[in-house]
Amino acid sequence: MRKTAVLFVALALYALPLIAQTVADAQYVHTIHLGTFPEVMPRDFDQVRTMGFVYSQPVGRMVDVFLGGWDNEEAPRALLPTLRNMGYSASVRKLPVEQGQPVRVIQLGAERVTGPIAWEKYFAADQLNVLIANDVVKILAGPYDDETRLRADLAAFRKKGFPQAFAKTVNSALLHAVTSFETGGVKRPAFDIQLPKSGERSGKPTGEPEPMTYDAPVTYDLPAASVEGTAKSGGPTRYEAGAGLRVPVPEVRSNVKRSSARHLQETLKELGYLAAGIDGYYGRMTASAFEKAWAEHRQVQKYKVLSRTALFAERQADELPLQRAIDLLGTDPAAAVPLLQRSTRPEAKAWLAYRLFVTQGPSPEVDRLMNEAIRAAFVGVDPSRFPSFDYRARYSYPELAQLLRHLFYVQVAAPKDRLALPCWLLQRHGKVMESVLTDPVAQRNEWYLSGCEDAGGWEYVRVLRTIMQDISAGQTGSAAERRAAASEWVRLLLLPATVADSEVKDAPAWTGRLATSVDGWGLRDPMLGEIAQAWKLAWYQSCVLLEDWFMDKGLSPEAARQHAAAALRALAQPWMKRFL
């Protein structure tokens, strides 16, 4: 009995810090709801970041934006008049802690809510959350449902520069996920999922007759929107949920002399924002002048608003339901899988096999789906288009790399209404897909990439596209031309290794002719001149950033200049036909 009492006291003493911490954190339940928005950009909320930590929460197709976390109601209520004068429909909310659950996390650090946060160092954690406690934001890794993994990660974090990291228990309702919105636009570096080398082909050709038509749609159920797959040999592989082209905004090199910076300086000088001389170097004075012009120019402000409306959203009127399903599979599998299951095309089976693999790992069902897709897709296909690939063989798929390669073969072999590869596939499996898209099969076949969001949400690119759509006067390329241009845009940004020098060497001359034409168009009328100024601000700033993006990829300044011009040419070609 005495031993039991001693044990109980010891356990109580051990649990006391956890209980105290949980209770302390649970007090910070008051927050301010700034409003519900169709789309949010970090810079749109810069003016309120001085008042507290800003975070977001998706609500269907909309986004709720909140400010701060307090242990009392008076502090947030005192901010409401100021926020409402700024145009926000602000109100105090209480977090639903009664609906939350105790979860285990690792606290990596604590920062002032209104001060600069070096988010890059915290990206050592795969999953980040914050807990806002008055004027402090606690940065947390997790949550964890496995105490063993938590302890292992805690030890690793302490070795990686977080010696004061510690484990704690918090209410899940107090946690707010960290995305590029919460960081104010700072993004994780682009990364690739590291996969084992492609497995060897198994089995031998069989004597089974090849199907002349594709068989019935698949009707089995796949798991819901899981974002974690487990391969038997490699353990869990975590994939990021998210749509669009995720391109981190590069840091501009101030020591590289370039014509794009010179043209931007000339535009800023013309507008009266740049007092310094024109030298072709993008230094602090140029950056400051651009930011001021970008924030004040009337036409830029107009196109910023228009760029967030459905009126100028990229649409493909002739998009096939199966293409829509493939594009959705990376971000909304619950909507995509039923569309794939209803399709009778071989590509649908291949994509279902991919989904099954990343959610449940290798299995006989994955093998069956892929082999049936291959046999159906290759009916009547010229074998010379696929050197060293025997479509009559039976394959197994112990590793994702081989499945992705064969999925690509199915997609380019199927003769009807060729479909595009989604850009999310490149983001998740960049190394493997780069290998696939540079092999002989890719060189002998026509393939497309689906259009993605403009460079990771870069506002300059989005505004530039909107201006070009607006001034195109309806003289745009066909749906096929727009699809090809969108594919080229994605390929240049994500797969520069697949781009030959001959494809980009004439791009600077093309973009130069376009800029001259836009300048001449702007001379016809003062209003057109203002629109041309907005176009040049967006065009040359995008060019500078693209050049640094390609230099970050290892290209020389001259090669980066050509690739950036080629990317802008792909962006502009469908809309600027009447200017050339």
How do the pLDDT tens digits run along the chain, 580 residues long? 444 444 444 444 444 344 344 445 557 788 999 888 766 777 778 888 888 899 988 876 678 889 999 888 888 999 998 888 777 888 999 888 888 888 899 999 988 887 788 888 888 888 899 999 888 899 999 899 888 999 999 999 998 889 888 998 888 889 998 888 888 877 665 433 333 333 333 333 343 333 333 333 333 333 333 333 333 333 323 233 334 445 667 889 999 999 999 999 999 999 999 988 899 999 999 999 999 999 999 999 999 998 877 666 655 444 678 888 998 898 888 889 999 999 989 999 999 999 999 988 999 999 999 999 999 999 889 888 998 899 889 999 999 999 999 999 999 997 667 788 887 888 788 788 888 888 888 888 888 887 565 444 688 988 999 999 999 988 887 877 887 888 788 888 877 877 888 889 999 999 999 999 999 999 999 999 999 999 999 999 999 999 999 998 889 999 999 999 999 999 999 899 899 8
Q: What is the domain partition of the chain in residue ranges?
A: 2-177, 228-238+317-444, 259-314+459-579
Distance CA(43)–CA(184), nearest Å, equals 7
C-alpha distances out from residue 567 to 98, 484, 493, 547, 580, Å: 51, 12, 7, 10, 17
Distance CA(67)–CA(64), nearest Å, equals 10
Distance CA(426)–CA(423), nearest Å, equals 5
Going by the DSSP 8-state scheme, the letter that residue 209 receives in this structure is: P
Cβ atoms of 282 and 253 closer than 8 Å: yes
3-state secondary structure of 236: strand
Phi-psi category of residue 184: left, alpha or beta, with phi > 0 → left and psi -120 to 50 → alpha? left
**Beta-bridge mates of residue 138:** 110, 131
What are the φ and ψ backbone dihedral angles of 73, each rounded to 5 degrees? Answer: -90, -20
Who's near 373: CB < 8 A, 6+ residues apart? 346, 347, 349, 350, 353, 410
Distance CA(232)–CA(360), nearest Å, equals 9
Token pair for 301: 């402000």
Task: Note the pLDDT of residue 25.
Answer: 56
Cβ atoms of 189 and 312 closer than 8 Å: no
Token pair for 198: 């492609």
Task: Note the pLDDT of residue 246.
Answer: 52
Which one of 2.60.40.10, 3.40.50.620, 3.30.70.1070, 3.40.50.1390 gives the CATH number of domain 2-177? 3.30.70.1070
3-state secondary structure of 252: coil
Who's near 94: CB < 8 A, 6+ residues apart? 29, 30, 31
The size of the chain, in residues, is: 580
Token pair for 407: 């999925």
Question: Does residue 143 have a cis peptide bond before it, meaning omega lies within 30 degrees of 0?
Answer: yes
Picking from 369, 364, 361, 438, the residue whose alpha carbon sits closest to that of residue 400 is: 361
Q: What is the pTM of this model?
A: 0.53
Q: Which alpha helices (H) appear in 495-574, and where do they start and end?
A: 501-504, 507-522, 526-552, 557-572
Token pair for 45: 């909320």
